[in-house]
Amino acid sequence: MFRNLKGLAAFSVVTLNTLFWFVPIMVLALVKLLLPFAGARRWLTRLLMQCAENWISGNALIFGAANDTRWDIRGTDGLSVEEWYLVIVNHQSWVDIVILQTLMNRRIPLLKFFIKKQLVWFPFLGLSFWALDMPFMQRHSKSYLASHPEKKGSDLEATRRACEKFRHTPTSVINFIEGTRFSEAKRVRRKSPYQNLLQPRAGGLALALSSMGDMFSAILDVTVIYPHGAPRFWEMVCGEVPHVIIDVQKRDVADWMIAGDYVNDRDHRRRFHRWLGEVWAEKDASIEAVMQEYR
């Protein structure tokens, strides 16, 4: 009972913090929507990012008070809030988002997540994500594309349009390129060649690079490891995240990544898949080496 009361208290305070920042974020977003002046809109975008950073800082303090987490963070030296970054990361739990926001807040520009279009209707959060220019994605199933072939590639084109919006303000675009949260059942079902990861999906990442790769200072390859198992959200608010390991590697944005045509050039697509497979194999090996110490 004490555990759940602790979780309820932490969740309640996070909700109040969210409601507090929801008001100025929405007011600024509506003013920005109505203003026709590009300079004023960019200034308001900066103010919106500051509000979001304050929102994240408040949540980080609350979750930090609820958890006695041991943090092992590597590779964050030399990062800047005035640069553009493309962030790729493995995905195990909804807690990943809170962890990454806590870690990267005010070290790099505000993280912009690709979000399912349906989440725009999620109370308060959906509108906040819209106000902060988070890109909403509409993913189509194979059966839908079979009956509506004209929609093929529309999700990748949405990625391109979303990334174009970030050209005028330093931005961190984050991509969970496995497409879903990792589980052993999914790994087996999808016949993943990795022990701790699902096979990466390259399309969105390639389109982000071709759209604004010339602006990215680096690719930040982030590995999140929970040595005692990936926690669920409720476990986090109840204070049950004992240890988190974060490793950040800077990777260069090569000219071939920007210049290639992922959609229409088969050789470029193969090269991109090969590069990403090597990155993912290295990530899998580093996770396995850590996890062996705790098994």
Query: Tens digits of per-residue pLDDT, 58-94?
Result: 999 999 999 999 999 999 999 999 999 999 999 999 8
pLDDT tier for residue 43 given thresholds of 50, 70 and 90: very high
What pLDDT does residue 202 have? 87
Give 89-136 pLDDT, tens digit per residue.
Answer: 999 998 999 999 999 999 999 998 877 776 667 778 888 888 898 877
What pLDDT does residue 143 have? 67
% of the chain exceeding 90 in pLDDT: 64
Give 244-263 pLDDT, tens digit per residue.
Answer: 999 999 999 999 999 888 87
The residue ranges of every structural domain in the chain are 68-292
Q: Please give the Cα distance from 55 to 41 (Å, whole number).
A: 21
pLDDT tier for residue 167 given thresholds of 50, 70 and 90: confident
Q: Is the pLDDT of residue 23 over 70?
A: yes
To the question of domain 68-292 being in CATH 3.40.50, the answer is: no
pLDDT tier for residue 161 given thresholds of 50, 70 and 90: confident
Q: How many CA atoms lie within 13 A of 95 on its CB side?
A: 24
Least confident of 11-15, 37-41, 155-159: 155-159
- Chain-wide mean pLDDT for the chain? 88
Q: Please give the Cα distance from 177 to 89 (Å, whole number).
A: 7
As a three-state string, the secondary structure of the chain is CHHHHHHHHHHHHHHHHHHHHHHHHHHHHHHHHHCCCHHHHHHHHHHHHHHHHHHHHHHHHHHHHHCCCEEEEECCCCCCCCCCEEEEECCCCCHHHHHHHHHHECCECCEEECEEHHHHHCCCHHHHHHHCCCCEECCCCHHHHHHCHHHCCHHHHHHHHHHHCCCCCCCEEEECCCCCCCCHHHHHHCCCCCCCCCCCCCHHHHHHHHHHCCCCCEEEEEEEECCCCCCCHHHHHCCCCCEEEEEEEEECCCHHHHHCCCCCCHHHHHHHHHHHHHHHHHHHHHHHHHHHCCC
Give 129-156 pLDDT, tens digit per residue.
Answer: 888 988 776 665 566 666 766 666 566 6
Q: Is the pLDDT of residue 283 over 80?
A: yes
Give 208-233 pLDDT, tens digit per residue.
Answer: 888 777 889 999 999 999 999 999 99
Query: Which two three-digit tokens encode residue 21?
Result: 């920042």
